[in-house]
Amino acid sequence: MKILSKENMTRIEGRLKRIYGDMPEVNVSQLMERLAMLVGRYGVGLNPQPCESLYSENDVVLITYADSVFGEEDKKPIATLRRFCDKYLRHNISCIHILPFSPWSSDDGFSVIDYREVNPDYGRWENIEALAFEHSLMFDLVLNHCSRKSEWFKDFVAGVAPASNYFITEDPNTDLSNVVRPRPWPLLTEVATRDGIEHVWTTFSEDQIDLNWKDPNVLFEFLDILFLYISKGMRIVRLDAIAFLWKEIGTNCLHLPETHEFVKLFRDVLEMVAPNVVLLTETNVPHEENISYFGEGDEAHMVYNFSLPPLLLHALLSGKTSYLINWAKSLDELPDGCTFFNFTASHDGVGVRPLQGIVEDHELNWLMERVRERGAKVNMRRMPDGSEKPYELNVTYVSALSEPEDELLGEDRFICSQAIQLGFRGIPAVYIHSLLGTRNYVEGVEQTGENRTINRRKWNIHELEGLIEDEATSHGRIYKRYLSMLRRRKNHKAFHPDAPMTVMDTDSRLFAFMRVANDGSERIVCVHSMSRETVKIPLVSLDISLGVKDKSVRDIFNSQTLKTGPKRQLTLKPYGSVWIILKED
């Protein structure tokens, strides 16, 4: 029996009118009827249960490709991934982000051929569902474009409805100079169709054809796909490249009002049929543009904290904390029910556009040179005047923070970056190659010719197990230390994504902040050295009333007791961290 929320349906109807209301060929009432008929598809939305909380202090997301680990006899990679997580991450990872696992033709999955199928090289839906039995899952909804090898695009070329209207064509003489370009190659790609030569919109590559969201049929294709994914165990849906969704000639085609309406519409649909599913937007843009996808608390539940990865790199490599501290202090209070998706590394590189307005150009250039010295590649984007600017740094986070002359010091610096991420307000997301201590995969770049391959190594499970179980290897040391951080972070209410965070003024070589549990039951002071020198500071300088009542406090990061008192000092080794817990009576 379908029980539809009248309030949600009214909001959705309003959004459809704002998007399609000026198009005489679109009947919004009919769209509402289609939506009502869709509810119940795959069993989704028939009896949605209220959700008191979307996340907790124990939520940690693992980011991985379906085949990041492989090589078990008679097992597909998704089954191997399940065994790996069960053996090495049980109870320490709550959610697994499986990067695009459908059949694809390029961009390591982000050029989707068939959204409703699992790539047979990875496994089957049964393997996904088995993984969902033990972990919640995060899937990508690649909304902006699909593969030119998809059935949709083949139908477009052949003039077969409804897909004959699923893609955007444009006269190549049209002035498109205002359009924001994330890639340096042409925006339009020539295609031979049944009706002659057409020029289709291709924001990211000639294999990734942009979809025409002005056709409501495209919306309903993706609503159907959304319902399918929910039925397979998806708890977080990632709206990939959402900022580019709607196109209007004469604009920059980025963050347009209609795009925001679509995000709100997806939020309304989820609240009606699957209120336990979290909506996450992926917008690798300057910070203020990025957080606009929270709306007024009516858009995304989470946005990627894109400024954090490059700011941490800059602070840890330079020893200058001012940019990081000033940015962290400037973060506004988030709308209720909204939080950051904190990460340092992902399948993409470290974006540098999110530094715009935060870090001066000469400091960005300095950072690029430092990571290039550590083997990084740099991807560029094309500006309206035809020039190119840096878009992202392609490097593993372990390599980016390495110290060529002192491997152990580099490991300490990397662990410091991860400790900050794990303590920062929001939900932490750990890329599998950070967990495993993977260095730059230079051979892969040479094989594919793609800079991003440097951070997308595929590990044979037998080789990998030998490395991470051996503490004589960098992989083994980093894995052990990472797992320790995850375990010591658990069950502390001060690390709830909604728990307030206050950046503290202290020694300029440190980055310190306090997290306070929403119920006031505990405070955790997180202090991190951004220096290659040993730092000593008076405990009282942390302004946490240490020593007023207790003679000692607990540092849960290092599992040690710290003596308190007005003359006591906190000693931090190079790139060391402490998490000082203060319990309330």
Residues identified as active-site: 240
Which residues are CB-contacts of 104 (< 8 A; sequence separation ≥ 6)?
A: 110, 111, 112, 113, 119, 147
Please give the C-alpha separations between residue 192 and each of 6, 169, 195, 199, 208, in angstroms, as whole numbers. Answer: 46, 12, 8, 9, 16
Amino acid (1-letter code) at residue 191? V
Using alpha carbons only, what angle is made at residue 434 by residues 55 and 555, rounded to the nearest 5 degrees? 65
Phi-psi region of 148 (alpha: psi -120 to 50; beta: other; left: phi over 0): alpha
3 state SS of 446: helix
Q: What count of Cα atoms within 13 Å lies in the side-chain half-sphere of residue 391?
A: 18
Helix (H) or strand (E) holding 136: strand 136-142
Q: Which residues pair with 389 in a beta bridge?
A: 381
Token code pair at residue 566:
């007005």
Q: Which of 384, 397, 382, 383 is nearest to 350 (CA)?
A: 397
Token code pair at residue 124:
């089957």
- Torsion sign over Cα 325, 326, 327, 328: positive
Strand order, beta sheet including 560-563: 501-504, 510-516, 522-529, 577-583, 552-555, 560-563
Q: Using an 8 Å Cβ cutoff, are 341 and 303 in contact? A: yes
In degrees rounded to 5, what are phi and psi of residue 424? -65, 150
Token code pair at residue 402:
């390495």
Distance CA 258, CA 213 (A): 10
Cis peptide before 120 (omega within 30 of 0): no
Please give the C-alpha separations between residue 236 and each of 142, 373, 383, 427, 526, in angstroms, as whole numbers. Answer: 14, 37, 33, 12, 28
